Structure 1
Amino acid sequence: LMLAFDMGGPVNKVAYAFMLICVAQGVYTVVAIAAVGICIPPLGMGLATLIGRKNFSAEERETGKAALVMGCVGVTEGAIPFAAADPLRVIPSIMVGSVCGA
């Protein structure tokens, strides 16, 4: 949830630091949860631009392609352009998606 909330901002970094502390203590299951939580926001937005093409502008569809690539390599920031355009719908939806995926 924290990883998806601000997509690479300070809350995201706190959650990531917690994951690193867990790894240092030998608790590795948290890494799997964090990896999924990091990838879901950009992957979800990228897939949305492919599945619901008519709901997005041409520029947003191009941004969605980049978001897919960023999601595959674990860069949450790929969802930021979508969240900036419509934060009240995008941020809660990617938070719910990250919780369900993790």
Structure 2
Amino acid sequence: MNKDEIPAWILSLDNEDIEFIRKFVLSSGSLKQIAKGYGVSYPTVRIRLDRIIQKIEMNVDLEKEPLISYVKQLAIENRINLDDAKNIIEKYKSERMNNNE
């Protein structure tokens, strides 16, 4: 998979979130095992997972927004170049995510 194929929801996560997901997968989804590894309680780990889930859901919802669809359509029709489309979408997502925190 090259960088252009990485889903937007993954790119919206910070390094700590991605590391948490990596540990989650390697522990076969055992939040108890992750809690033990981090030296925190199960509820603390559950809260962290819930926050990551919210970030992913928010990003997926943003992909459905009319402005993002419109910018993508402009790029498909070669009315704007792909790099400009990506920059517009990322700026919009960043602003929306910052306003929702």
* Range into which the TM-score falls when normalised by the shorter chain: 0.3 to 0.5
Q: TM-score, normalised by structure 1?
A: 0.43
More helix by share: 1
Q: Whose radius of gyration is greater, 1 or 2?
A: 2
